[in-house]
Chain A
Amino acid sequence: MSHDERPRILLVDDDEAITGALAAFLGRSGFDVRVAADGRAGLIEVERDVPDLIVCDVLMPHVDGREFVRRVRSRQLWLPIVLLTQVGESWERSAALDEGADDYLNKPFDPHELISRIRAVLRRTAQGVGSLRSAQRLRARDLVLDRTTRRAWLGDTELTLTPKAFTLLEFFLLHPQEVHSRDHLLATLWGFDFASSSRAVDHRIAELRRQLGDGAAEQPLIDTVQGTGYLFTAKVTAA
């Protein structure tokens, strides 16, 4: 890979102890890293040169992470953004995703986990799936999901889903044709690794399969990947 092909990352965080160590680590992991000390400086950096991906803290002076994401999106820039959240509350996480972040990671996090999230998000963006993020309605075969009203239909029939099952289905539709480990799905459902076992994921998968009629289907929407996790099989488009 030539030097020019190194993905360019903008790291936005007000804590120098974090940006110093993380920038060096990301640099050694094959990324071209620039650092901004808060959201305002981040916006200036984005204006100057749009990176391939932004990693951004939430709690910052001047312009915080959420506001930063809103302002980047309001400039019609759809580059992927990974938010570093402070509080593990799932509503904060879903609020972050609703405001246009592509993924999130709770502090304190394992730096290797950040690298794997960055690579996954870049891969999705390269496949053009990233644009699903801005869509209000998603469609996969005859399944339609409305992200604003949090309702879903299979053909003409509306599905009755628990809030967690809906969150899981939404996550699958935003990350289709990608294998997700039970642990990652668990963190998605709860905001962090909540339960002591990933049985909670299996319960929601069972609920989704019942509602989607996957048991009798020739081509089930949700596939089990033995020993790894689950995969949403169908192609997803904005509806």
Chain B
Amino acid sequence: MTAPAPRPAPDRAGIALGVGAIAPAALCSLTAGALLLAGDQHALAVEIALPGAVFAAGLILSAVPAAALVARRRRRRRDARDAAAHATALAAAVASATQDERENHRRFLARLDHELKNPLTAIRATAVAAQSAPETPAAAWQTIDHQTQKLSGLVRDLRKLAELETRPLERERVDVEALVAEAIEAVAQQHPAARARIGFTVTRVPWPVPQLDADLDLLSLAVDNVLGNAVKYSSSGPIEVRLREEGGWVVLDVADSGRGVPASDLPTVFDELARAQNARDVGGSGIGLTLVATILRRHGGDVSIRSVEASGTVVTLRLPAHT
């Protein structure tokens, strides 16, 4: 975000100079006109010695470049002031971005801490209890195994994210309509009850949705995630999947009439490990939408979300049609 530029302070010296430059000419013109109208016949004869005339001519000839020189120096000083102001603004923007970055990092560490705490507490509690028991019950080992699997899952998810940031894209011609149809088929196979709820509309007139140069696996992953969320967070009601071309972008909406995201959680919904208050009862890692955002960004596109709690959610993926 950029703040509006401050109004420059009025240039008092400039105004004084302007008045000083115009006033004598105007005054003398008026007086001369008045004298002419009054029929004044007086003539002014000036006698000047040649050395004096040469000296005066020299002064007059020098005055013009000297004035220009003064004007230039003033302009330079003003430019330097502007540049300094610009640099200050830039430094402020960088500092604010760095601060945002630090704030993001701090929030991420807090969430990571939260995710690690529970399994570690469970493991320690189980291990300590088992040490004082006459023999370790089988359930204790199961708890430890289960909790370490949870931790492994977390490590794996974070690795996925890190890999996604750096892995080279393997681009090929991708038919987005076919990709979305496959994703719908896959999610319907996983959740047969949801099949009848999913509707897919594609805008084909006046022109079809263009093919994209994209990483097929990554785009599938993004669409799978968004569709999976729609099914996960809406137990009933229709899910509308809408694909169209719009102003040089391929746009995909996935809309559901599910539980929605609370307004207070919407700003952080794309952050890694972030999970909305009302999503705690549904299994999930909190990295799905981060993956989606990263994939879209790496393709030059973006993702946005609109949601009203208890009403539903629409997630919109946009990809540039000509890459």
Contact = CB atoms under 8 A, between A and B. Distances in A.
Interface of A: 87-90, 108, 162-164, 190-197, 199-200, 203
Given A162-B170, A164-B170, A203-B217, A195 B156 contact: no
Interface string B173-204: 00000000010001000000000000000000
B225 interface: yes
B126 interface: no
A49 to B, nearest CB: 34
Given A162-B170, A163-B170, A203-B216, A194 B160 contact: yes
Describe A's contact surface by its main secondary structure.
Answer: loop
Contacts of B217: 164, 190, 194-195, 200, 203
Interface string B109-153: 000000000000000000000000000000000000000100110
Contacts of A196: 221, 224-225, 228
Interface in B213-263: 216-217, 220-221, 224-225, 228
Given A199-B186, A199-B220, A200-B217, A88 B163 contact: yes
28 contacts: A88-B156, A88-B159, A88-B163, A89-B163, A89-B167, A90-B163, A90-B167, A108-B151, A108-B155, A162-B170, A163-B170, A191-B163, A192-B160, A193-B156, A194-B160, A194-B163, A194-B217, A194-B221, A195-B220, A196-B224, A196-B228, A197-B186, A197-B220, A197-B224, A199-B182, A199-B186, A200-B220, A203-B217
B172 interface: yes
Interface of B: 148, 151-152, 155-156, 159-160, 163, 167, 170, 172, 182, 186, 216-217, 220-221, 224-225, 228
Contacts of A203: 216-217, 220
B287 to A, nearest CB: 11
Contacts of B159: 87-88, 192
B254 to A, nearest CB: 15
Given A195-B224, A199-B220, 10 more contacts: A87-B159, A108-B152, A162-B170, A162-B172, A163-B170, A164-B170, A192-B156, A196-B224, A196-B225, A200-B216
Name which of A162, A163, A199 has the most chain B CB atoms within 10 A of its CB.
A199
Nearest to B182: A199
Contacts of A195: 217, 220-221, 224
A191 B170 CA distance: 15
A192 B164 CA distance: 12
A90 B170 CA distance: 13
Nearest to B218: A195
Which are the 3 A-B pairs with shortest beta-carbon distances? A200-B217, A108-B152, A88-B159
B290 to A, nearest CB: 14
Contacts of A90: 163, 167
